[in-house]
Structure 1
Amino acid sequence: MSERFDRNIKAVYATSVLLGLAYGLAIAVVALFLDDIGYTKQEIGGLAAWFAGGIVLGSLPVGRLARRFGARAVLISSLLGYTVTVTLLPLAASSYWTLVGVRMADGIFSVGVWVGFETLLLQHATKANKGMVMSLYSIAIAFGYVAGPASAGFFSQVMDLSQVFFISGGVALVATLVATFALRPAAAVEHEVEAASKAGKNWDLLWKIKTSCLATYSYGYFQASIVLFLPLYLSQKGFADEKIVVIPAFFAVGMFVFSTFAGKLSDRFGHLLIMRWLAVIGIPAVIAVAFLDSYALIAACGFLTGASLATISPVSLALQGHIVDKADYAQANGIYNAFYALGMLIGPVVTAVLFEQFSGAVMIYHLAGLWAFFVVFTLFFAADDPRVATRRAVLTSQSIQI
């Protein structure tokens, strides 16, 4: 790893593990905590929408800030902001609109963290190993996501759920300190990128990265919906809270185990092709949850879903790193995360309505349909992958010569 990756990449990985742990602790209990204190399913979905709204508002400005001040500065300040907001969440929960403000701030700081991580990694990775670098990043996050829900399962039995958010804030503070002292300040590559950069137009960049954007939109939609409403659906099926909060860990373990493999395959055979097949594998695992009443089988579906759908995101970021110029990484990452946020914004609202008005099974089916649409979309725009476009150009040239 020392020969392949520089210090900043390894520092990002270390920070990602800690942040994943902080996220995992909070995510595992947020829906149950809000449900316990009297919030309805639609209110819980609405709060997730406000969080996503913060991401939408912050995405493009954060990309510009990263171009202007560097990804490291944006990352550290955003980590500190997230530390504050996750700690404040249970204190603000008595007032819906105060909680709305906290959740929006949470979204703004979260997108700053993601853009900072992703820009630093893409800047320091080589063309040959972007899929591997981004997949290892997802593994670092997944490691924290595994430990977070597992720890939350223990903490939920020995303390009030509100106290889990304070523990999450403490872990996020440690992540902030690691980033501050481990990342090289004012890395030369960032200044070189900024000096050489002429900002691309947002619409032009969006068209270049549209398949990556749909991938992250679909994942944001799916993830936000599942995080909020799968625990409630499983509660309806009769599972205890201490079992429910561990389900995200199975999802994260699947992502942890298979992400590197997916990254290697994408670097070798093409990023968009692998993204498509991962979605094809994940769809049946999603549908199966609606038919199962066995905790072990549902956990297995969570594992398979993590191994397939969750590994699409790092591959889509690697694809983006091949499509856009290095100078436009931060701006493209801002757009990319805006689509992730749009998915998080729309998904829980639609899912809440389907869950309340119809059933949890209908909720599951519509999430599978979302990924089916993604598969079809990637077939239409397969040439967005430079590897496919190059192959087609060679074939066209050979046919003309013949």
Structure 2
Amino acid sequence: MDRQRVINLLAAVAAITVFGFTFGLMFPLLSLIMESRGIPSQWIGINSAMHPVGIVLSIFVIPYVVRRFGAKRAVIGSGLVTAAVIISYPFFPVFWWWFGLRLLQGFFVSILFAISEAWIVRFAEGPWRTRILAIYTSIFALSFGFGPAIISFTGIDSITPFAVGVAMLLAATIPIFFVKDEEVDSEDETPLSVLSFARKAPILLFAVGMFAILDAANLSFLPVYAVKKGFDQETAALALTAFVLGNTVLQFPIGWCADHFNKRWVMVGCGVLSGMSSLLVPFVFGTWALWPVLTVMGATAAGIYTVALAELGERFSGHELVTGTASFSTMWGLGALVGSLAAGWSIAGFGPDGLPFTMAAVFMVFIVSAMFSAVRERPKPA
């Protein structure tokens, strides 16, 4: 791996990691503010769903933005606009104005992540590809997990947590200046097509969608679930931190398994562990066992995404790789839309425990689909 490639990889990982801190803070912060003001769970879910709607809409402009402004300028510009959106939340009435703000946030965040993640997948190469991506996922999860923890210090009743988020987001644009990537900037004029990519890699997109359902549901509603089950707001935010931080210790072992064994069966194993962990949450809530269960659930769910990302990098390059990461973003947006709505309605309809039971059911669907794919396609290990 040449020096510039290493610099590109480190810079892209550094930037997207700091982005992660900000968004790890925003998801629970907005949900807890709405919960504290008596907004029903189903409406919190609908409001949370505007973020993934913005992600889905962005797929239509990402190729134009990259061709018009270049990849680096697109990432930096999107970061600045997102910072402006975040600092706007405290100055607008809660809830109804937030629909538009969350739509804009999701739109520009998608541009950030689609381009940055394309860099990371392309610059991670060789037999250690999955483990490099696992390290990236672990670092990202660590920063994402620290986001909710900030609420324990700032609370939710002032502008302080929003100001912290903006400061970190602006800092994240600095490493982008060190990235040098003519290939992305010189991509051809063919528009990105999620449908054309889906025909080539349906199980990868399905894996991303299933992960997104669990991820968005817990990012938006795990703190709300914990409050409804008796935790105070600060401890509820730490429950989300436990869910996210599992990635920091378990992603590398998952990556090692994916580099040495059939990636589809590794996905199946991650799905089984994540689904079982979700089922256990109501039974261990209020005991010390809750924390390791949340950790395993979050780590194995994210492991599905890590393995899918590694297979994407192995099978595609150049324009198809950018199409793939944009398709991943779109599928994450669709899955997150379903997850946010399903989580809100499951809590409203079945009580707090409707959340973990619904997520367990989602993973049952994924496990069956991934097993079928593993048996039928039998992709070779790296």
Q: Is the structural similarity TM-score above 0.5?
A: yes
**1:188 equivalent among 182, 199, 223:** 182
1:221-274 Cα deviation digits (max 9, x unpaired):
112111222222221221111111111221222111111221222122132221
Structure 1 residue aligned with 2:172: 175
Shift of 1:198: 5.9
Measure the CA separation in 2 of the matches of 1:331 and 1:149: 31
Structure 1 residue aligned with 2:111: 112
Structure 2 residue aligned with 1:292: 284
Structure 2 residue aligned with 1:131: 130
Measure the CA separation in 2 of the matches of 1:69 and 1:271: 37
Structure 1 residue aligned with 2:314: 322
Structure 1 residue aligned with 2:340: 348
Relative distance call for 1:80 and 1:356 in structure 2 (3 A) is same
Aligned: 1:154 with 2:148: no
Structure 2 residue aligned with 1:42: 42
Residue 228 of structure 1 aligns to a residue whose secondary structure is helix
Residue 239 of structure 1 aligns to a residue whose secondary structure is coil
Please tell me whether Structure 1 or Structure 2 has the larger radius of gyration of its CA atoms: 1
Structure 2 residue aligned with 1:272: 264
Shift of 1:384: 8.1
Identity of aligned residues (%): 22
Relative distance call for 1:127 and 1:174 in structure 2 (3 A) is same
Measure the CA separation in 1 of the matches of 2:113 and 2:337: 17
Measure the CA separation in 2 of the matches of 1:303 and 1:69: 40
Relative distance call for 1:282 and 1:390 in structure 2 (3 A) is closer
Relative distance call for 1:236 and 1:268 in structure 2 (3 A) is same
Question: Which ranges in structure 2 are unaligned for 5 or more consecutive residues?
Answer: none
Residue 39 of structure 1 aligns to a residue whose secondary structure is coil
Relative distance call for 1:21 and 1:381 in structure 2 (3 A) is same
Residue 127 of structure 2 aligns to a residue whose secondary structure is coil
Structure 2 residue aligned with 1:399: none
Structure 2 residue aligned with 1:12: 12
Aligned ranges 1:196-235 → 2 under 5 Å: 202-235=194-227
1:119-143 Cα deviation digits (max 9, x unpaired):
1112222243331232222122112
The range that moved more, 48-57 or 286-295, is 286-295
Shift of 1:112: 0.8
Structure 2 residue aligned with 1:240: 232
Shift of 1:382: 2.1
Aligned: 1:263 with 2:255: yes
RMSD, aligned CA: 2.5
Relative distance call for 1:167 and 1:242 in structure 2 (3 A) is same
Relative distance call for 1:59 and 1:133 in structure 2 (3 A) is farther
Shift of 1:73: 3.0
Contact 1:51 1:105 (8 Å CA) reproduced: yes
Measure the CA separation in 1 of the matches of 2:146 and 2:166: 15
Measure the CA separation in 1 of the matches of 2:190 and 2:230: 57
Relative distance call for 1:270 and 1:64 in structure 2 (3 A) is farther
TM-score when scaled to structure 2?
0.91
The range that moved more, 138-147 or 109-118, is 138-147
Number of matched pairs: 381
TM-score when scaled to structure 1?
0.87
Shift of 1:283: 1.3
